[in-house]
A = this chain, B = another copy of it.
Amino acid sequence: MSQAAVVQLFKALGDPVRLQIVQRLSNGVPLCMGELSKDLGISRQGARKQIQALVTANVVQLHPVGREVKVQLDATALTQGRDFIAALEAQWDQRLQALKQFTEQ
C-alpha cells in the first residue's frame, strides 16, 4: 500500500462526520444515501460530499439500486490502515526491546 493511500485513508477517517458514517456502516448493513444523511447535523448534499470523500479514499463503495444508491463499507481499507499502524508499533517495540537489553547488561 502506497504512502499516499494511507494518508488518504487517515485523512478520510479524520473528520467527525465521515468517521460517524463509517461507524454506522461498520455493522455490515449497506445504507442508501438518504438514510445515511440523517442525523449528521448537515444537509443531504453536504453529507453526499463526505460520502464521496470516503469513496475516493476507498473506504466505502457505491452500488446503485433503482433510484437509490447503497453505500457499503470496504473493510479492507480499515485493515490496511490497521496494518500500517501495527507496522509502526512493531518498529517501536523492537527499539524498546533493544533498549531493555542494553540497560540489563
* Interface residues of A, Cβ cutoff 8 Å to B: 3-4, 6-16, 19-20, 22-23, 26-29, 73, 75, 78-79, 81-82, 85-86, 88-89, 91-96, 98-99
Contact = CB atoms under 8 A, between A and B. Distances in A.
Given A6-B13, A10-B14, A28-B92, 10 more contacts: A10-B10, A11-B15, A23-B88, A26-B92, A27-B91, A27-B94, A27-B95, A73-B92, A75-B89, A82-B89
Which 3 pairs from chain A and chain B are nearest by CB?
A: A28-B95, A11-B14, A10-B14
Contacts of A85: 78-79, 81-82, 85
A contact face: mostly helix, strand, loop, or mixed = helix
Most buried by B among A11, A22, A73, A85: A85
